[in-house]
Structure 1
Amino acid sequence: MFEAPPLSSHEWPGERARTPTADQKDTQFDMANIKSQIKRNKQNEKAHERNKAVKTALKSAVRKFREAAETGDKETALEAGRLAAKKLDKAVSKGVIHKNQAANRKSAIAKKAASL
């Protein structure tokens, strides 16, 4: 007599296909059929790359300030703080981060710089 192999928890008969996880969503791209949506997808991809570059530069500037402040080098820390504040303002003007987030970060940088 034929005996079927046991089913694992995700292979029940009649079970609907599961939606992909966040990791899988990044690798799967469905091509849109509508011309305006194809254009929108291209625009979103370009904006994503631009925003990523701005955020990376911003994080680097803030990290350099933090490292200079930890070493106790006041001159370098103040210069790095000015550069970080400039990058924060630039990110706000490009719409990458919210103005209040930039204000909070600049305030924290100024507070740390004043304590040196």
Structure 2
Amino acid sequence: MENDKRAAVVELTFTQDGEWKAYHAAQEWLKAGGFSWGQGQRGAPCGILFGDFIIAKWKNLTLAERRECHGELTGDHRFGPVAIKIFADASPDAVRAATANCKHLVATNTKGE
């Protein structure tokens, strides 16, 4: 994919057991941070943008729109694991929100899950 070479400021992997559990956990993290994510498409990432957006499936995004994404959601949505990557070259607000949301995630995760 064209975004594979972009450096990430945040990389998270969700490994919850059960159908859709990892995907829903990733969605909750994105929602808590103020991010929007694109529609799912088998074998392709979902684009992530900071703010309230409707994002098309990856196949319907132009190359320029893919490059404008602040991050990507990848993995097996149904059975997991699911990964979130927020790019280092994303907008300053997106980077700030992602890193702040990670601090919250660490502070609330007392079981080491």
Find the structure with the greater CA-based Rg: 1
Q: Judging by fraction of residues, say which structure has more helix.
A: 1
Does the pair score TM above 0.5?
A: no
Band of TM-score, shorter chain: under 0.3
